[in-house]
Amino acid sequence: MWMWVNGELRDAADARVSVLDHGLTVGDGIFETVRTTGGRPFALTRHLDRLTRSARGLGLPDPDLDEVRRACAAVIEANPMELGRLRITYTGGLSPLGSDRGNDGPSLVVALGEVTRRPDTTAVITVPWTRNERGALAGLKTTSYAENVVALARAHAQGASEALFANTVGQLCEGTGSNVFVVLDGQLHTPPIASGCLAGITRALAVEWSGALETELHLDVLEHAEEIFLTSTLRDVQAVHRVDGRELPGGPGPVTAKAMRVFEERAGNDLDP
Ligand code: PLP
């Protein structure tokens, strides 16, 4: 496996960043996960825009997007695979043993892993922990993901593949690595960015392509929504068939099935929508 590490392509066995990298010591970094099909990245421009927004939100220098594109192309070429996930990581870089950043500049690492197709439907749980919609990191795709790791482990322990968070005022927000959509009286809704969720790229495309409304929703909509689905780079549009103890009708409902179809068609026809 070949990876891009700070300006060069390296075999994963010799790919190194410092043990004092801020990304490791204090979780000061940002990332993107980009799906590739047949060696072609999907929605790379949108991912790079979000990388820049996350860098600015965290006070990191703007990433050199030409270098990031070159790095992605080099890693894709060096690791041929049908379905892949590019992982772009950009961190605060080398620091002394403290929480101030050093002066050596950020680290850029790009790696590629294989992915298998997800099932069309999945089970989710809700968790009692909240997303802080007013926090400094709200809406940024940072490497400080430990809270998501804890929530996802709870989901896995309960036979689910995703955990959903409310925000601090009890509104439905997002999953550990996905956005959420619900159907109420036949109309598709998703929480607004102000709920504290990540501005998911799949979410934005699903809103554009399926006409979902951005609506503040209480967490308890999950108890009566007619349909629920998740969106993310690795799930695309994935129906939910169980939320906590509640079973939804098996198989994607009509609104979800249509959103899946539209997404597949349009994403298949336009790699950089
Ligand atoms: N929300 C969180 C917290 C995520 O980490 C992700 C993706 O990793 C998403 C939502 C979905 O975003 P995207 O569709 O851009 O993958």
pLDDT means per 10 residues, the chain with 273 residues, are 95 90 89 96 98 96 97 97 97 77 83 93 98 96 96 98 98 98 98 98 97 98 98 97 94 96 95 95
97 CA from centroid of ligand 1 (Å)? 31
The CA distance from 159 to 142, in Å, is 27
178 CA from centroid of ligand 1 (Å)? 4
Residue 171, pLDDT score? 98
Cα dihedral value 21, 23, 27, 33, nearest 10: -170
144 CA from centroid of ligand 1 (Å)? 14
Residue 102, pLDDT score? 67
174 CA from centroid of ligand 1 (Å)? 9
Residue 63, pLDDT score? 96
Cβ burial of 115 (10 Å; 0-12, 13-18, 19+) is: middle
The CA distance from 48 to 40, in Å, is 15
Q: Is 142 in the pocket of ligand 1 (CB under 6 A)?
A: no
pTM, to two decimals? 0.96
Q: What are phi and psi of 222, to 5 degrees?
A: -65, -20
Q: Is 233 in the pocket of ligand 1 (CB under 6 A)?
A: yes
Residue 19, pLDDT score? 86
Q: Is 252 in the pocket of ligand 1 (CB under 6 A)?
A: no
The CA distance from 272 to 157, in Å, is 37
Residue 89, pLDDT score? 97
